Structure 1
Amino acid sequence: MPKPDRPRLARGGRTLSETVCGDRVYSALMEARPAGLPFKQLVVATQMSAHHTRKGLNYVKDVPALERKTPLIWTRKHGFQLSDNPSDWIAFEVEALSAELTHITRTTKRVFAPHAAARPDDAFAELALDYICGMKAGLTGIIAAGKNIR
Structure 2
Amino acid sequence: MPRAARPLAKHYGDLVWASLIEARPAGLHTRQLVAATRLKKSQVARGIGHLRDVAAAEHLTPIIYTYKDGYVFSDEPADWIEYEKKQFRQILGRLTRVITGTLDPHLARCPEDEWAQLAVAQLTGVRATLAQLSK
TM-score, normalised with respect to structure 2: 0.91
- Once the two structures are overlaid, the 10-residue window that deviates more, 54-63 or 64-73, is 54-63
Amino acid across the alignment from 1:69: L
Find the counterpart in structure 1 of residue 99 from structure 2. Answer: 108
More helix by share: 2
Answer 1 or 2: higher relative contact order, Cα 8 Å, separation at least 6.
2
CA RMSD in angstroms comes to 1.2
Structure 1 outlier segments of 4+, above 4 Å: none
Find the counterpart in structure 2 of residue 75 from structure 1. Answer: 66
Q: 1:37 aligns with which of 24, 28, 41?
A: 28
The answer to whether structure 1 residue 127 and structure 2 residue 99 are counterparts is no
Q: Helix, strand or coil for the counterpart of 2:49? A: helix
Identical aligned pairs, as a percentage? 37
Residues of 1 paired with 2:45 and 2:111: CA distance? 45
Shift of 1:108: 0.6
Amino acid across the alignment from 2:42: H
How many pairs were matched up?
129
Q: Which runs of 5+ in 1 are unaligned?
A: 1-15, 145-150
Q: Which runs of 5+ in 2 are unaligned?
A: 1-6
Q: Helix, strand or coil for the counterpart of 1:37? A: coil
Amino acid across the alignment from 1:112: L
Describe the superposition over 1:40-87 as per-residue Cα deviations: whole angstroms up to 9, x where unpaired.
001101122222212211111111100111111111111111111111
Aligned pairs for 1:1-150 within 5 A:
17-144=8-135
Shift of 1:17: 2.1
Shift of 1:133: 0.7
